[in-house]
Structure 1
Amino acid sequence: MPIQNRLLVALAALACLGACSSQLPRPTPASEVPEIRPGVLAGYLPRNALPNSLTLLAAPPASGTAAFAVDEEAYRSTRSLQGSARWKQASEDAVLRFPQAAAAFSCAADLPITEKDTPHTYLLLRRTMADAGLATYAAKDSYKRKRPFATYNEPTCAPAEEASLAKDGSYPSGHSSLGWAWALVLAEIVPERADAILKRGEAYGQSRVICGVHWQSDVDAGRLVAAGVVARVHAEPAFLAEVEAARKEIREARSKKLAPSRDCGAEAQALGTR
């Protein structure tokens, strides 16, 4: 193809991208999003469109293998953190109730992530939580892996949840999946803070190992599921519309110099970040 024609094709493609973005639907108000259970909004993907974690992931490490020895070492290496600031942070990261859950990334984004100040960003987190969490259950329900605290009969940073967690498969980690999904989405809409956001997403998953409720391989697998979910959800017009609206409100929040909703100094000290 002559170079002139290639240039014309490229220009046409760019024009199409602009037209496509202008044809996105209006963002869906939270009031119009159904709940899948009280307080938990439906995601952007129907159940049959979720990535299949059982297909995506290899089996978890079996007892007695070198890979399981790595899991055991990672678990044991974090037991000394009980009672520390990092242990307290892991306890806070365990909370999936909104608005507290959204605030986990406030310092990393250097903005408040609240229904009042950044409603589209807030809604993105609420809805992608469902997608990233539900996508882990094909593997969870198949493998029914026992969690470390239940294996060793030791305390966790979330004692009130231990009874329910003991009945829920450990592999892959749902918290790690949704935390990494949130990090990927936020890095996209707040690119100037991408490094800090991704680092926070990593720490969010590691909180599950520190808490004693997941093995390291559970957390690693959760991040892989999250990547699949975020890739897939980009095909959904409703998600793309919300992303565009979130970008605009982030710029407005920056112009107003809105401050994060958490004590960022204390969080940085707990996580060992700058």
Structure 2
Amino acid sequence: MSRSPFPLRLGAASVLAAALAACASTPAPVDRGHDASAEPAPTGYLQGAAIPDSQALSPPPPAPGSAWAALDEAIARQATALRGSARFAQASADADLRFPAGAGQFSCALGIAVDSGHTPALYRLLQRSLIDASAATRAAKNHYRRPRPFMVNGEPTCTPDDEPHLRGSGSYPSGHTAIGWAWALILSEIAPERATALLERGRNYGHSRLVCNVHWYSDVQQGQALGAATVARLHDNAGFVTDLAAARQEIATARAQALPIPRDCAAEAAALATGLPDAR
């Protein structure tokens, strides 16, 4: 669902490949700013039965010829009409979940820069919950094996280099959406004063998958449901709760430091203002 990951150093590759199998082209989180050999490979907080069972939680995707399938197709037509626009460029940027850059996807909505140096607990929280939310979509993706929109309508995507890989990854539910919605919920809890902006960002992060022509609307809806299910399970994990509290403190410190955000937040806001009328 996004750009191909850079090669991982040492053992991190095998760990993350398994954790992110649900979102087949979601790039593994990689911090290339220092020697990864000195650090353990990142893992999710959730293991085994603690990961939501997406097959049990996900009804079948819309049947061909149904009213729900017609809605998917209508929204896909609206979304592909945005090709070449600023919204299409933003959707392409949203597709990239590689760390460290992926940690900044919600920085504008949060109002602070997120990096491993100034906000290490928050960085870790986002990195590990990404793995959990992605893993939470695996069973349903593998079970339904739904073709992606570009495979059906023949229109381009915003990440053409990924298309061969995406053909082998089920469309339903959307892994990127599950990750983005989980992040929106987590960050809204940490920074409730920014909740509206963060939840709006979580919604339009999922809509970027429509604009990219790699997911149907029903994929995105179910991705949100699984993102929420993941966060519900995370609250029963002691490591997550500890990092959540530490991240809340880091945000307060970062706001006081007023560090610059390495993103063009005005351009991002303008691009995201171009919405999909029926995708609400």
**Deviations 1:92-132 (CA, angstroms, capped at 9, x unpaired):** 00011012211110100000011122111111110000100
Aligned to 1:263: 264
Q: Which of 7, 16, 33 pairs up with 1:37? A: 16
Q: Quote the Cα distance in structure 2 between the aligned partners of 1:67 and 1:83.
A: 27
Query: Deviation string for 1:134-175 (max 9, x for gaps)?
Result: 110111000000000011222100101111111100000000
**Contact 1:128–1:178 (CA under 8 A) maintained in structure 2:** yes
Query: Which letter maps to 2:220?
Result: V
> Match for residue 20 of structure 1?
none
State the partner residue of 1:138: 139
Runs of at least 4 residues off by over 4 Å: none
- CA deviations on 1:209-236 (whole Å, 9 max, x unpaired) are 0100000000000000011000001000
Contact kept in structure 2, 1:54 and 1:138, CA below 8 Å:
yes
Q: For residue 272 of structure 1, what is the aligned residue in structure 2? A: 273
Q: Does 1:197 align with 2:176?
A: no
Show the counterpart of 2:229.
Answer: 228
Aligned letter for 2:84? G
Corresponding position of 2:172: 171
Secondary structure of the residue aligned to 2:205 is helix
Displacement of 1:259 in angstroms is: 2.8
The 10-residue stretch of structure 1 (43-52 or 168-177) with the greater mean CA deviation from structure 2: 43-52
Task: Determine which structure has the larger helix proportion and give its number.
Answer: 1
* TM, length-normalised to structure 1: 0.85
Which residue is 1:215 aligned to? 216
Structure 2 counterpart of 1:153: 154
Worse overlay, 33-42 or 103-112 = 33-42
Which AA in structure 1 matches 2:208? S
The amino acid across from 1:100 in the alignment is A
Counterpart-to-counterpart distance in 2, 1:149 and 1:47? 33
Partners in 2 of 1:254 and 1:72 — Cα distance?
Answer: 43
1:50 alignment partner in structure 2: 51
Counterparts of 2:232 and 2:84 in 1: how far apart (Å)? 38
Q: 2:93, 2:259 → 1: CA distance?
A: 23
Structure 1: distance between partners of 2:212 and 2:147: 15
The within-5 A match list for 1:94-105 is 94-105=95-106
> 1:115 maps to what in 2?
116
Query: Within 2, Cα distance between the matches of 1:66 and 1:133?
Result: 28
Secondary structure at 1:81's aligned position in 2? coil
CA distance in 1, matches of 2:177, 2:226: 9
Deviation (angstroms), 1:57: 1.4
Q: Return the letter of the residue paired with 1:59.
A: P
Runs of at least 5 residues in structure 1 that lack an aligned partner in the other structure: 1-32
Give the stretch that moved more between structures: 48-57 or 235-244: 48-57
Distance 2:98 2:48 in 1: 22
1:92 aligned partner:
93
| Matches of 1:37 and 1:59, distance apart in 2 | 28
Counterparts of 1:100 and 1:149 in 2: how far apart (Å)? 26
Per the TM alignment, residue 48 of structure 1 is displaced from its structure 2 partner at its CA by 2.4
CA distance in 2, matches of 1:78, 1:228: 27
SS in 1 for 2:106: helix
Name stretches of at least 5 consecutive residues in structure 2 with no aligned partner.
1-10, 18-27, 30-41, 275-280
Indicate if the aligned counterparts of 1:107 and 1:261 stay in contact, CA closer than 8 A: no
The one-letter amino acid paired with 2:176 is H
Q: Which moved more, 1:39-48 or 1:104-113?
A: 39-48
Kindly provide the amino acid, as one letter, of the partner of residue 184 in structure 2.
Answer: A
Q: Counterpart of 1:69?
A: 70
Structure 1 or 2, whichever has the larger Rg, is 1
Q: Which residue of 2 aligns with 1:125?
A: 126
Indicate if the aligned counterparts of 2:76 and 2:216 stay in contact, CA closer than 8 A: yes
TM-score under structure 2 normalisation? 0.83
Query: What is the aligned length?
Result: 241
